[in-house]
Structure 1
Amino acid sequence: MGKQGTSSARGKASASGSSSVRKPSSAVYRRRRLVVGGALLMVLAMVVGGFALAGAFTGGSEQASSTDPASGAASAVPSAPPTESASASAAPTPTASATPSCNQNLVTVSASTDKAAYGPDENPLLTLKVTNGGEVPCQVNIGTSQMEFLVTSGPDRVFSSRDCQAASEDLVKVIAPGASETANFPWPRNRSVEGCQVVDAKPGAGGAYYIFTAKLGSKASPKAVFQLN
């Protein structure tokens, strides 16, 4: 009986010793759940906040401008549309097609010869010059359909490049402000009539004076005087 009592006493002691490791109470479990739940909420808040900031910056300047200046955080309220003054400042610059049209009255025609007087065996070189005297580029038709080299002597119509012109064509060119286009015509000192009929007579010599007028469409140059010897 003594041994059995001792053994039972030891078993009770060991049982009581093992029972000293108590299970966590329900209050402890509740506290642990609160801690874990709070951590999860913090992680979710960080993830959601990260997407909000990313959206604010990847959306361009309009979303970035919605940042609250007081807190530095991105606001969910979309930014207001630009004001009239802002949209005006962002308007595109005028293109070349929006530039004012040129003043055709500032496009002038002039006539000149390479010499003031010519010997019996020299042929005059007649030059027609078109100049844009305006401040913007001008489109001008400088084709043979528009130009004429006219030589007269008093009331006498001596020669015209149109009389025997086989074909004519348009040639539209853009002349820059202050720039010029020229065309040269070597005149073989012959007479011509409309229809290109044969004319046996030749212009007189012996120091006679002639007038060269350059024409382009409805524009005519000032007179250029030269002498044939």
Structure 2
Amino acid sequence: MIEPKAPRPRQVYLRRRIMALAGAVVAVFALAWGLTLLIGRGEPEVGAAGAPEPAAPPPTESSTPAPSTSGSAAPGSSTPPPSEPPPSEPPSEPPPASPPPPDPKEPCPDGTTAVTAELTAPSFRVGQRPGLRLVVTNNGPACTRDVGRGQRELAVTTAAGERVWSINDCSAAEGSKPRVLLTGERLTFDVTWAARTSAPGCPTNRSPVPAGDYRLFPRLGKIIGAPAPFTVAP
């Protein structure tokens, strides 16, 4: 015959309830942990493999100084090696100093002194008194020339070269007159001719020049200029 079970002590029931409650708490935590794992698989973890890489920062200018020209370029660099500066040219010699201007007190060379003759008209009648002119021109640098009465002369000849008249026949060809002539300066000396013949010593039997063709010669010292032709009409 089975004996009826006796009632168990109260401590046994309390222990069983505590164990049941602890098991329920553990189950709840396990369920929450499992849900966390399921949800976490759908989102990439920060820093995990397969995550998108952060965008590279924009390039900035580098303050690194340029490499020295004395060194060679780095292997694989596309920068060409610096070229050597061209050799400096030797300094050019200064231009020679210009010679000082000629002294105006120096005498004028004959080669730069022009002597010409002019008339007031290329033709005049017998008995008229034409105007004659001796012209001295300096074609060189400033210089000094004696243009005194002893150096000047005007003379008339026929077209054939026969001597007819000279201003020195009846006027004393004496006296000097040094004169500084500038470049291009032109001096003129005018004479009125009586249109009569003359000879050295100024003889008294002078006669009017007849009609014909004549030449007027200028002279200054040893320089004799080209003659100026003219005509005496009857």
TM-score, structure 2 normalization: 0.52
**What CA distance in whole angstroms lies between the structure 2 residues aligned with 1:155 and 1:141?**
28
2:176 maps to 1:147: no
Query: CA contact under 8 A between 1:148 and 1:214: conserved in structure 2?
Result: yes
CA gap 1:198/1:103 in 2 versus in 1, 3 angstroms: same
Query: CA contact under 8 A between 2:152 and 2:220: conserved in structure 1?
Result: yes
2:130 maps to 1:124: yes
Q: Residue 85 of structure 2 aligns with which residue?
A: none
Q: Residue 138 of structure 1 aligns with which residue?
A: 143
CA gap 1:123/1:96 in 2 versus in 1, 3 angstroms: same
Q: Displacement of 1:101 after TM fit? A: 6.9
**What CA distance in whole angstroms lies between the structure 2 residues aligned with 1:212 and 1:169?**
23
Counterpart amino acid of residue 142 in structure 1 = V
**What CA distance in whole angstroms lies between the structure 1 residues aligned with 2:219 and 2:106?**
27
**What CA distance in whole angstroms lies between the structure 2 residues aligned with 1:98 and 1:114?**
33
CA gap 1:186/1:215 in 2 versus in 1, 3 angstroms: same
Q: Residue 7 of structure 1 aligns with which residue?
A: none
Q: Displacement of 1:109 after TM fit? A: 0.3
More helix by share: 1
Query: CA contact under 8 A between 1:213 and 1:220: conserved in structure 2?
Result: yes
**What CA distance in whole angstroms lies between the structure 2 residues aligned with 1:139 and 1:105?**
14
Flag structure 2 segments of 5+ consecutive residues without an equivalent. 1-98
**What CA distance in whole angstroms lies between the structure 2 residues aligned with 1:121 and 1:193?**
19
Counterpart amino acid of residue 131 in structure 2 = L
Q: Residue 176 of structure 1 aligns with which residue?
A: 182
Q: Any idea what the Cα deviations from partners look like across 1:93-115, whole Å, max 9, x if unmatched?
A: 95874998754311110111110
Q: Displacement of 1:119 after TM fit? A: 2.6
Flag structure 1 segments of 5+ consecutive residues without an equivalent. 1-92
Counterpart amino acid of residue 222 in structure 2 = S
Counterpart amino acid of residue 212 in structure 1 = L
Q: Residue 199 of structure 2 aligns with which residue?
A: 193
**SS of the residue 2:203 aligns to:** coil
Q: Choose which of 212, 216, 225 in structure 2 pairs with 1:221.
A: 225
Counterpart amino acid of residue 216 in structure 1 = L
Query: CA contact under 8 A between 2:104 and 2:144: conserved in structure 1?
Result: no
Q: Residue 17 of structure 2 aligns with which residue?
A: none
CA gap 1:100/1:124 in 2 versus in 1, 3 angstroms: closer
Q: Displacement of 1:145 after TM fit? A: 0.3
Query: CA contact under 8 A between 2:145 and 2:181: conserved in structure 1?
Result: yes
**What CA distance in whole angstroms lies between the structure 2 residues aligned with 1:101 and 1:216?**
14
**What CA distance in whole angstroms lies between the structure 2 residues aligned with 1:162 and 1:177?**
29
- Once the two structures are superposed, the pairs formed by residues 87-98 of structure 1 within 5 Å of their partners are 97=103
Query: CA contact under 8 A between 1:113 and 1:124: conserved in structure 2?
Result: yes
**What CA distance in whole angstroms lies between the structure 1 residues aligned with 2:105 and 2:175?**
29
**What CA distance in whole angstroms lies between the structure 1 residues aligned with 2:145 and 2:157?**
26
Q: Displacement of 1:169 after TM fit? A: 1.2
**What CA distance in whole angstroms lies between the structure 1 residues aligned with 2:134 and 2:168?**
14
Q: Displacement of 1:165 after TM fit? A: 1.2
Q: Which has the larger radius of gyration?
A: 2
**What CA distance in whole angstroms lies between the structure 2 residues aligned with 1:159 and 1:132?**
27
